[in-house]
A and B are shown apart, each in its own frame.
Chain A
Amino acid sequence: EIVLTQSPATLSLSPGEWATLSCRASQSVDRYLAWYQQKPGQAPRLLIYDASNRATGIPARFSGSGSGTDFTLTISSLEPEDFAVYYCQQRRDWPLGFGGGTNVESK
């Protein structure tokens, strides 16, 4: 089973700042990695798929990069609505799995 480890666990930032979130896989997932945003009481929202493709309707301030075992989600110029928990997810192998999440909180 592929294990995804996200860091940091918590990121304290102010609106307008850049956020850089990391996801590391225990073995290569090629580029088969997605990023999700989740707010309290809501379902996750797909942001990025296949490492760097923005899902339909996702703002350009969200970007993804990486391949193999190391991936990054960057949020340029945080908006107030971007404070949430972010998860990565791999589809390279069964079972599909998620990382433990990064909480982006307002400083």
Chain B
Amino acid sequence: QVQLVQSGAEVTKPGASVKVSCEASGYTFTNYVIHWVRQAPGQRPEWMGWINADNGNTMYAQKFQARITITRDTFARTAYMELSSLRSEDTAVYYCSRDYHIVTARSQGSGDYFHHWGQGTLITVSS
């Protein structure tokens, strides 16, 4: 079965960077896009960006453009999300999520729904 296993919770200081990993199993890693979505306490989910696990192409939400980097390691079947210049408002649970549609369907206009999810990684930014 499809599983996404994320790295553990972190407490970090304002101005620092954090890198969260997401290890995939149970499907062909390069056949899907991986999204990153965060959710602050009591708030709606917020999409941050995605990576095409096949070709490494990325798309970021403009809000995070200047300080987010999403990468992947196809041999390790793992996607990574690094967020820099952290502030207290970045305190949230960060999720990776596999897209519902296979990458080849994106050329036909499908994609960008969040199907399988990791367990979430709580990032706390506090001085």
Q: How far is the CA of A96 from the CA of B60 in the complex (A)?
A: 10
Question: Which A residue sits closest to B109, measured CB to CB?
Answer: A32
Q: Are A89 and B113 in contact (CB under 8 A)?
A: yes
26 contacts across the A-B interface (CB closer than 8 A): A34-B113, A34-B114, A43-B95, A43-B97, A43-B117, A43-B120, A46-B100, A49-B100, A49-B113, A55-B100, A87-B44, A87-B45, A91-B112, A91-B113, A94-B61, A95-B61, A95-B62, A95-B63, A96-B35, A96-B47, A96-B61, A96-B112, A97-B47, A98-B44, A98-B45, A101-B44
Q: How far is the CA of A97 from the CA of B113 in the complex (A)?
A: 11
Name the 5 nearest CB pairs between A and B, nearest first: A43-B117, A91-B112, A95-B61, A96-B47, A98-B44
Pick from B59, B62, B100, B117: contact of A44, CB under 8 Å: B117
Q: Are B47 and A95 in contact (CB under 8 A)?
A: yes
Interface band, chain B: 20 to 34
Q: Does B10 contact A (CB under 8 A)?
A: no
Q: Does B73 contact A (CB under 8 A)?
A: no
Question: Which B residue sits closest to A36, measured CB to CB?
Answer: B114
CB contacts (< 8 Å) of A49 on chain B: these are 100, 113
CB contacts (< 8 Å) of A55 on chain B: these are 100, 113, 115
Contact with B along A37-67 (1 / 0, CB 8 A): 0000001111001000001000000000000
Write the residues of chain B forming the contact surface with A, with a CB cutoff of 8 angstroms: 35, 44-47, 59, 61-63, 95, 97, 100, 111-115, 117-120
Question: Which B residue sits closest to A101, measured CB to CB?
Answer: B44
Q: Does A68 contact B (CB under 8 A)?
A: no
Known: A87-B44, A98-B46. 19 other contacts (CB 8 A): A34-B114, A43-B118, A44-B117, A46-B115, A55-B100, A55-B113, A87-B45, A89-B45, A89-B113, A89-B114, A91-B111, A91-B112, A91-B113, A94-B61, A95-B47, A95-B61, A95-B63, A96-B61, A97-B47
